[in-house]
Structure 1
Amino acid sequence: MATRTRMTPEQRRDQLLDLGAELFASHPYDEVHIERVAELAKVSRGLLYHYFPSKRDFFVALLARENAALMDETAPDVHLTPAEQLRRGVEAFLDHCVGHEFGVRAVFRGAVSSDPDIVAIIADSIDRQVERILIATGAPATPAPMLVLALRSWIYQVRAASYEMLSDKRASPDDVTRMLMAAFVGTISGLSPEVVPPAMAAVLGTLVTPR
């Protein structure tokens, strides 16, 4: 007779979040009943609510976990040039989206939420990505507001393109990376020269891969 493997609390929590990601990725938030997660995991509702007291707590935990994984997998290699760091960062972002499709879809659904904790998680992710680019390109401690606006706008484009790539399987990560690198050049080139750090300006021409 087969014996059931007992999970650690961390393993059980991850299992529940994995199952929840699938539900939130394919259904609007209001249509998801997290009791269904307990059914899929074959655990009691009491155990589910032990880990996550409410659906909101569950969803916030899911987004926090996905954001932590994203930031870890896209961490820059400081030994690379700024141009290489940027390209590798985009490639890692797209790889993460492919490897964590359910979680990424759930995050994108959560991006339209007005819940302050959810808004804060997504805002923190974008802020940290902007900071990484600023550090890599030697920007001053207080960068020009237009530069920050431009970088934030480009990161929103990266996120949107990643989501569209998941929806349209005809789009390859290589093609999306090439497009986003060109978009970065166009975005920064549209700024006044005085707001662009010299290191960032110096690498713009190296970012677009010829066809």
Structure 2
Amino acid sequence: MFADTSYDALSVDDVAQHAGVAKGLIYYYFKSKRGYYLAIVEDSVAELVARAGGESHLPGAERVRRTVDGYLHYAEHHHAAYRTIVTGGVGSDAEVLAIRDAVREELVATIAEGAYGRRTLPPIARLALVGWLSAVEGITLEWVGGQRARTGPTSPTGPR
């Protein structure tokens, strides 16, 4: 629902009605609309990291390829969640930005491990990898944004 409605315009009543539950149940589990929103972001992040970081038993180059493919697959099929994760959510939300930063760190570590056999890198290599990931985020935002205008999804990594 947050993908289609701004945070401020969406009420807990709307969420409860859409879910078919009593509003009190939302408050019981999430304490507030913000708690619910952060839970959605955290759940989306967990799915992205799991998809990107899976297959740890594969050889390094194949693991990096699968990490990038998983990342793009997630963005392709979860446009709104991907945008929220990469852009930091509603406004300048410090908690969402912290979640985003943790995802970036995990992706950098996962790619480093696949490419170099270790999760930590010398500063210059890490800087290059972070710069590359930032470019990937921007390009992917443009790609998933353009998909809504096209008929049928396409992937920058080729047909699936």
- For 1:137, which of 115, 122, 131 is the aligned residue? 115
Corresponding position of 1:157:
135
Runs of 4+ in structure 1 over 6 Å off: none
Matched residue type, 1:99 = H
How many angstroms apart in 1 are the aligned matches of 2:64 and 2:100? 20
1:128 corresponds to which residue? 106
Q: Judging changes above 3 Å, is the alpha-carbon distance between structure 1 residues 112 and 54 closer, same or farther for their aligned structure 2 residues?
A: closer
TM superposition shift of 1:110: 3.5
* Equivalent residue, structure 2, for 1:196: none
Equivalent residue for 2:13? Answer: 35
Q: Would the alpha carbon gap of residues 59 and 141 (structure 1) be closer, same or farther in structure 2, given more than 3 Å must change?
A: closer
Instruction: Indicate how the Cα distance of structure 1 residues 33 and 73 shifts in structure 2: closer, same or farther if over 3 A, else same.
Output: same
Q: Which residue of structure 2 aligns with residue 182 of structure 1?
A: none
The answer to whether 1:172 aligns with 2:140 is no
Q: What is the aligned-residue RMSD (CA, Å)? A: 2.5
- Secondary structure, counterpart of 1:156 in structure 2: helix
- 1:61 and 1:101 map into 2 onto residues whose CA distance is 17
Is contact 1:25–1:102 with CA below 8 Å preserved after alignment? Answer: yes
Q: Identify unmatched segments of 5+ residues in structure 2.
A: none
Bigger mean CA deviation after superposition, 110-119 or 56-65: 110-119
Letter in 1 for 2:146: D
Following TM superposition, by how much is the alpha carbon of 1:36 offset from its aligned partner in structure 2, in angstroms?
0.8
Give the aligned residue type for 1:172: T
The corresponding residue for 1:90 is: 68
Higher relative contact order at CA 8 Å, sep ≥6: structure 1 or structure 2?
1
58-67 or 35-44, larger mean C-alpha shift: 35-44
Distance in structure 1 (CA, Å) of the matches to 2:15 and 2:135: 32
Find the aligned partners of 2:80 and 2:28 in 1 and give their Cα distance. Answer: 24
Q: Match of 1:168, SS?
A: helix
SS, match of residue 30 in structure 1: coil
What corresponds to 1:199 in structure 2?
none
2:30 maps to which of 38, 47, 52: 52
* 1:149-183 deviations in Å (ceiling 9; x for gaps): 2212222222232332222124721xx237xxxxx
2:55 to 77, 81, 88: 77
- Equivalences for residues 63-74 of structure 1 within 5 A: 63-74=41-52
TM-score by length of 2: 0.79
Q: Is the 8 A contact 2:109 2:119 kept in 1?
A: no
CA distance in 2, matches of 1:45, 1:144: 50
Residue by residue over 1:132-153, the C-alpha shift from the partner in whole angstroms, topping out at 9 and shown as x without a partner, is: 1222233667533222222122
Query: Matches of 1:40 and 1:119 in 2, distance apart?
Result: 27
